[in-house]
């Protein structure tokens, strides 16, 4: 028999090389654990993705969350979610901690994901799309989307090698500035496809472009006069040399999310987290199409047909609510994220609304009570939990000053 109550979760830490390591690594400090010396901790996965499903404490043992959902789908997911998404949790919830840049990447839409999975299941392990939200716990530096045509004009002026490679004169680029948005997008698509094709072929003109950029940034410009993207190129060149990502990062927007700010990345939008700690939530997928800044598998051939050739930075997600309870909604139907900040003694009533919720406490200690406060569990910093849809409602009460993030679903 499945009980309507909160359940403690045990989650996998992904130890990707770009994650933080050492005594100040964010995820081990959050969880109150110690990893082996210099072992990186990059992501904490909370959910049911088959690559690293959480375990739930049930019947006095740790059980694969997907096995429990299979046995009790309506109790955990709720009737509407079960009917819409089947017997799987629709979202994947993460804590992500980057000490070094991640790859420049895009995620496919559902149709593209199905095609990629059918063609190459080793590198594209599921059939789902991967829209995602990132919420800065402290600060996040990232690359996202392409610069505007006006910014390309300035970029080509600073690095004439771009003009030579793309065979475009100053006058021709000035004419592009006068075009409408759709024609500018077509121009961007054409020049980037040329860049992608030449990088795949490793053509002499591509090597000349990269070498020219390297020579200008490393040898000619004063380090103190470099912007953030150029500094990134300077610092990463010894590791990546002729990698496409070094060229792309100069053509993308370098931006910073301050603490509490959020950004939503839909399918096709190129992005790369550079450094920082975030809460991340996405549709239940691990499909990543990499362009560069990585030693992992890159698939530029697929990427050039999937990438969004729009320019500009996606708008930051505007939260609703108050300082005690913020809600981050996006265009995604698989998730929404709640942020609770409670002073000692404060409480908040939470309604599951026949949806599952996963939560993680990033600061403090809370009591979760239910059934008119007749039942309670105590959770401490770093612990995560599942609130099944059948719980209906519960109350969070802060024993000490507490902060927690919850991932649930929008109302269907």
Domain of 217, in residue numbers: 154-249
Domain boundary among 267, 284, 306: 306
Q: What's the mean pLDDT when you consider all of the chain?
A: 95
Has residue 118 been placed in a domain? yes
pLDDT tens-place string over residues 22-43: 989 999 999 999 887 789 999 9
The answer to whether residue 168 is domain-embedded is: yes
pTM for the model stands at: 0.95
Chain segment 60-95, per-residue pLDDT in tens: 899 999 999 999 999 999 999 999 999 999 999 999
Q: Are 183 and 347 in contact (CB under 8 A)?
A: no
User: Per the domain annotation, does 111 fall within a domain?
Assistant: yes
For the CA atoms of 52, 53, 56, 59, what is the dihedral angle to 10 degrees? -100
Tell me whether residue 86 is in a domain. no
- Counting the structural domains of the chain, the total is 3
Report the pLDDT value the prediction gives residue 412, as an integer from 0 to 100: 63
Residues 245, 284, single domain; the answer is no
Contact 252, 195 (CB under 8 A): no
Give the model confidence (pLDDT) of 201-221 as tens digits. Answer: 999 999 999 999 999 999 888
User: Is residue 68 classed as helix, strand or coil in its secondary structure?
Assistant: helix
Rounded to 10 deg, the angle between the 181-201 and 149-158 helix axes is: 40
Q: How far apart are CA 93 and CA 54, in angstroms?
A: 10
Using the predicted structure, report yes or no on whether residue 403 has a pLDDT greater than 90: yes
Does one domain contain both 163 and 138? no
Confidence check: pLDDT of 297 > 70 = yes
β-strands 336-342, 289-292 pairing: unpaired
Per-residue confidence (pLDDT) for residue 402, from 0 to 100? 98
Q: Are residues 22 and 110 in the same domain?
A: yes
Contact 408, 356 (CB under 8 A): yes
Distance of CA 291 to the CA centre of its chain: 16
Tell me what pLDDT residue 221 has: 87
Same domain, 278 and 141: yes
123 close to 290: Cβ distance less than 8 angstroms: no
Contact at 8 Å (CB) between 26 and 94? no
Q: Tell me which residue of 335, 361, 287, 340 sits closest to 106, measured CA to CA.
A: 287
How is 338-356 classified by DSSP, letter by letter?
Answer: EEEEE-TT-EEEEE-TT--
β-partners of residue 405 are: 339, 360
Residue 232 lies in a domain: yes
Residue 2 within any structural domain of the chain: no
**Same domain flag for 281 and 359:** no
42/126 same-domain check: yes
| Residues 226 and 349 placed together within one structural domain of the fold | no
* % of the chain beyond a pLDDT of 70: 100
Q: Say if CB 139 and CB 276 are below 8 A apart.
A: yes
Asked whether residue 312 is domain-assigned, the answer is no
Token readout for 171 is 């006058």
Q: Is residue 311 part of a domain?
A: no
Q: What share of the chain has pLDDT > 90, as a percent?
A: 91
- Residue 163 sits in the same domain as residue 188: yes
Co-location of 351 and 276 in the same domain: no
Domain boundary among 275, 306, 337: 306
- pLDDT per position as a tens digit, 346-383: 999 999 989 999 999 999 999 999 988 888 999 999 99
pLDDT digits (tens, 9 = 90+) for 119-170: 999 999 999 999 999 999 999 999 999 999 999 999 999 999 999 999 999 9
Phi/psi-derived region of residue 73, left when phi > 0, alpha when psi is between -120 and 50, beta in every other case: alpha
Q: In angstroms, what CA-CA distances link 222 with 153, 154, 241, 247, 393?
A: 22, 18, 20, 19, 59
- Which residues form the catalytic set? 290
Q: Is the pLDDT of residue 386 over 80?
A: yes
Q: Are residues 141 and 193 in the same domain?
A: no
Question: What pLDDT digit, counting tens, does each position of 237-290 carry?
Answer: 999 999 999 999 999 999 999 999 999 999 999 999 999 999 999 999 999 999
Contact (Cβ atoms closer than 8 angstroms) between residue 311 and residue 148: yes
Q: Are residues 11 and 95 in the same domain?
A: yes
Are residues 77 and 113 part of one domain? yes
CB-CB contact of 265 with 80 (8 Å): no
* Other C-beta atoms lying within 10 Å of the C-beta of residue 265: 24
Which CATH number is 334's domain given?
2.60.120.10
């Amino acid at each position: 028999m499945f009980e309507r109550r909160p359940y403690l979760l045990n989650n996998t830490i992904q130890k990707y090389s770009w994650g933080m390591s050492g005594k100040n690594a964010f995820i081990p400090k959050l969880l109150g654990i110690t990893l082996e010396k210099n072992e990186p901790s990059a992501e904490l996965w909370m959910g049911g993705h088959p690559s690293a499903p959480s375990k739930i404490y049930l019947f006095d043992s740790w059980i694969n969350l997907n096995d429990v959902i299979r046995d009790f789908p309506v109790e955990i997911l709720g009737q509407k979610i079960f009917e819409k998404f089947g017997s799987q949790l629709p979202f994947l919830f993460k804590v992500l901690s980057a000490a070094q840049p991640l790859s420049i990447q895009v995620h496919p839409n559902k149709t593209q994901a199905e095609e990629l999975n059918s063609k190459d299941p080793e590198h594209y392990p599921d059939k789902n799309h991967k829209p995602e939200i990132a919420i800065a716990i402290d600060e996040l530096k990232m690359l996202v989307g392409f610069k505007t045509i006006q910014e390309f004009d300035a970029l080509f002026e600073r690095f004439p090698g771009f003009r030579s490679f793309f065979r475009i004169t100053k006058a021709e680029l000035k004419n592009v500035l006068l075009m409408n948005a759709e024609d500018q997008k077509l121009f961007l698509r054409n020049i980037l496809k040329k860049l992608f094709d030449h990088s795949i072929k490793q053509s002499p003109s591509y090597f000349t472009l990269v070498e020219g950029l390297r020579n200008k940034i490393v040898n000619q410009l004063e380090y103190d006069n470099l912007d953030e993207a150029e500094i990134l190129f300077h610092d990463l060149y010894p590791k990546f040399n002729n990698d496409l990502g070094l060229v792309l990062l100069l053509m993308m927007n370098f931006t910073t999310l301050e603490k509490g700010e959020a950004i939503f990345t839909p399918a096709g939008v190129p992005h790369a987290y550079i450094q920082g700690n975030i809460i991340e939530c996405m549709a239940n997928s691990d499909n990543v199409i990499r362009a560069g800044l990585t030693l992992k598998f890159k698939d530029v051939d697929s990427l050039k047909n999937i990438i969004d050739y729009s320019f500009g930075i996606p708008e930051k997600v505007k939260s609703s609510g108050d300082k005690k309870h913020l809600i981050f909604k996006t265009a995604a139907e698989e998730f929404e994220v709640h942020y609770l900040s409670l002073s000692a003694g404060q409480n908040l009533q939470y309604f599951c609304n026949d949806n599952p919720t996963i939560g993680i406490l990033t600061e403090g200690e809370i009591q979760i009570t239910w059934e008119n406060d007749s039942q309670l569990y105590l959770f401490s910093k770093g612990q995560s939990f599942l609130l099944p849809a059948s719980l209906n409602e519960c109350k969070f009460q802060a024993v000490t000053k507490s902060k927690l993030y919850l991932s649930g679903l929008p109302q269907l």
